[in-house]
Amino acid sequence: MNRILIMGPPGVGKGTQAERLAQHLGIPTISTGDLFREEVRNETPLGVRIKEIVASGAYVPDEVTNELVAERLAWADARDGFILDGYPRTVDQVRALDHILAELSAQLDAVVVLEADHGELQERILLRAAEQGRSDDTPEVVARRLEVYAQATAQLISAYDARGLVFHIDGTGLPHVVEARIREALDH
């Protein structure tokens, strides 16, 4: 399984687990958050817009996200597989991803859904904000993100579950323990 989507609420460890799994499989991690932060860091017109949207706790519009993901999936290093982190987040993005992958003659192999208690997630995010200086991780924004995630992703998980692609993984515990759970689930 080399074309994997990793999902879960903010702070559950998607980025950490995506990187660990990508290293194990020898494929790239494609994080919409990283793509967005690169645009913001480079102060592109799109980056300025993204910064305002993220600061409000909202998600970047689908058309922008879809374009960035399509461009990144076309890179040679993603030809034999990838791990998507943070995309898709809407039903329209699921359709867009299906279209992007069809154009690349590819399809998803698995959807890993990391799960954790919301109280633990808030603690993790606020700690990450302090450690990494991430100004977009305030308590108000975190609460809003968790709310938006819960509302938006239930139907995405159901859609992928109907395709038989979903693996629900307990995202609590040390990173190597969570990684072992993911690898075991994907190996079966």
Catalytic (active-site) positions: 14, 89, 128, 134, 145
SS3 135: coil
Place of tokens 């975190």: 142
Helices (H), 104-164: 118-132, 139-162
Q: How many residues does the chain have?
A: 188
SS3 per residue for the chain: CCEEEEECCCCCCHHHHHHHHHHHHCCCEEEHHHHHHHHHHCCCHHHHHHHHHHHCCCCCCHHHHHHHHHHHHCCHHHCCCEEEECCCCCHHHHHHHHHHHHHCCCCCCEEEEEECCHHHHHHHHHHHHHHHCCCCCCHHHHHHHHHHHHHHHHHHHHHHHHCCCEEEEECCCCHHHHHHHHHHHHHC
